[in-house]
Amino acid sequence: MAHTSFDQLGLIEPILKALQQEGYSTPTPIQAQSIPYLLEGRDLLGVAQTGTGKTAAFAIPIIQHLAVDGGGTGRGGKRIIQALILTPTRELAIQIDESFRSYARHTRLRTTVIFGGVGQKPQTDALRSGVDILVATPGRLLDLMHQGYVHLNDLRFFVLDEADRMLDMGFIHDVRKVIAALPKQRQTLFFSATMPPEVQKLSASLLTNPVKVEVTPVSSTAETVQQEVYFVDKANKPKLLIHLLNTRDIPVALVFSRTKHGADKLARLIDKAGIRAEAIHGNKAQNARQRALNNFKERKTRVLVATDIAARGIDIDSLSHVVNYDIPNIPETYVHRIGRTGRAGASGIAISLCDAEERAYLRDITKLINRQVPVVEEHPYPVSGEHAEPIAVPTPQRHGRRGGQQQQGQQRHAGDVREPRNVRQHRESRPDAGRGNRPAAENNGHAGHAKAQGTDFAALTAELMRDLDQTAGGGHAKAAAGSNNNRRRWRGPRRNGGGGR
């Protein structure tokens, strides 16, 4: 934890005032560790994920340098781009832009953001009128560079954000082209959640004598998040979810689905049940993703179904509920998912729907978080047949978890029960056990528990089940690869006022 205050970091008054307005009282660890070096002009290698407060860690010193050195006054009457932040997705770009605007609100600096998937006119207009700080995704940046709208000859600060994800998303060539166009003399800040060899190579080629700051991986769940698990047959998951949305006080819910197809189908199912829902995942056009996110933030939709990758980096204020429609096989992913709620000291509820095949994953999660997840036993879709037998989850060492109020019926703990041998054998005999692939579902004979909700619903459910099975391997493995890298998410106080970041 950081023991410094922002006052001790030598920040200028306009920035301190903005941070105060944001409601930030203490620097996050990455901020406390990086800001002093960045103010000295050192390069930085930050091994940290979104959620650690890394945006402010790089934004604040850049703003300070530019404000102190007379940035914002322009040269020859026009502002010149002096700082470039390159980030892989539109969502991140927008969030980073918003952060810069917030922290620089008492300076004269001007920021703009450019990304693909939308018309370029508003972006080129903004560029023409002159900016000091540019936030960009690689493709659109290159486009606008080629068209002559962006000149980076006077760049002083370069931030490469989420380098590992750039690589995953196939942007590395674009990134290299952008780098080739930058002046050699500059301060470079490099962020990545993980450091695979290729990313290491890239960082070594970009950084000069960098300070390295690493934020420790997640291992504990937010104290403010109330966790619960429902054991349910896989086939009944959609019905149980809709039942919960209909009967429990759930103002908004971020529902995690492991596959893109699954996310779409599930959103359609929920929507058909009369609950406004949308899906967000990598296959959606940028516009559609942003629209879905905005609708959710503005509470026009009650449910946002997201894949782990799509949800990574998205920051939603006042999220009351997170639903694990499936249980992630990487325990850190669970921690990361539920960390989306219970922020800023607000209470949040994380509901997990766990089928027979996922019980082993739940056991791994219990081990990681070292606490039991209360089981809600009373619900209309109880587990049928042999899977009704309880599972083994090793009793965690400490039991500090706050119990949380019971929403429905009795609760027991996931740790109180034993795993049936067939589930154990099935899991352990798989060569890919624990590496992201799941066996196909065998468990589709129990739909009779639910009241029929019309043909459409039944057909969609069947389709959803089929899709989940077909895509389980690839989709899950991909999600796991992304989420495996989860790092500690900052859960400190957040801004008081509105505006997402």
Backbone angles phi, psi at 344, to 5 degrees: 55, 35
Instruction: Rule CB under 6 A: choose which of 98, 315, 332, 467 binds ligand AMP.
Output: 315
- Please give the distance of CA 408 from its chain centroid, rounded to a whole number: 29
Instruction: Rule CB under 6 A: choose which of 34, 50, 87, 123 binds ligand AMP.
Output: 50
Residues facing residue 322 across a β-bridge = 254, 350
Window contacting ligand AMP (CB under 6 A); options: 54-62, 225-233, 284-292, 456-464: 54-62
Determine the residue with CB nearest ligand AMP.
55
Interstrand relation of 348-354 and 225-231 (parallel, antiparallel or unpaired): parallel
Contact flag: residue 494 with ligand AMP (CB under 6 A): yes
Between 367 and 495, CB nearer to ligand AMP = 495
Q: Footprint of ligand AMP on residues 453-492 (CB under 6 A)?
A: 490, 492
Contact flag: residue 342 with ligand AMP (CB under 6 A): no
Contact flag: residue 336 with ligand AMP (CB under 6 A): no
DSSP per-residue letters across 457-472: HHHHHHHHHHHHHHHH
Q: For helices 237-247 and 260-272, give the axis angle rounded to 10 degrees.
A: 50
Between 174 and 315, CB nearer to ligand AMP = 315
Interstrand relation of 411-413 and 374-376 (parallel, antiparallel or unpaired): antiparallel
Percentage helix, strand, coil for the chain under 3-state DSSP, each rounded to 5: 40, 15, 45
Between 254 and 269, CB nearer to ligand AMP = 254
Contact flag: residue 297 with ligand AMP (CB under 6 A): no
Between 26 and 286, CB nearer to ligand AMP = 26
Instruction: Rule CB under 6 A: choose which of 46, 51, 71, 339 binds ligand AMP.
Output: 51
Q: Footprint of ligand AMP on residues 8-37 (CB under 6 A)?
A: 24, 26-28, 31
Tokens 């004598």 locate to 209
Contact 278, 305 (CB under 8 A): yes
Compute the least distance from the CB of residue 100 to ligand AMP, in Å.
11
Contact 423, 357 (CB under 8 A): yes
Give long-range contacts, CB 8 A cutoff, 24+ apart: 385-390: 385/446, 386/420, 386/422, 387/231, 387/233, 387/355, 387/356, 387/420, 387/423, 387/443, 389/418, 389/420, 390/416, 390/417, 390/418, 390/419
Compute the least distance from the CB of residue 470 to ligand AMP, in Å.
34
Instruction: Rule CB under 6 A: choose which of 33, 34, 52, 407 binds ligand AMP.
Output: 52
- Please give the distance of CA 333 from its chain centroid, rounded to a whole number: 10
Compute the least distance from the CB of residue 239 to ligand AMP, in Å.
35
Window contacting ligand AMP (CB under 6 A); options: 45-53, 60-68, 170-178, 189-197: 45-53
Contact flag: residue 85 with ligand AMP (CB under 6 A): no
Binding site for ligand AMP (CB under 6 A): 24, 26-28, 31, 50-56, 315, 490, 492-495, 501
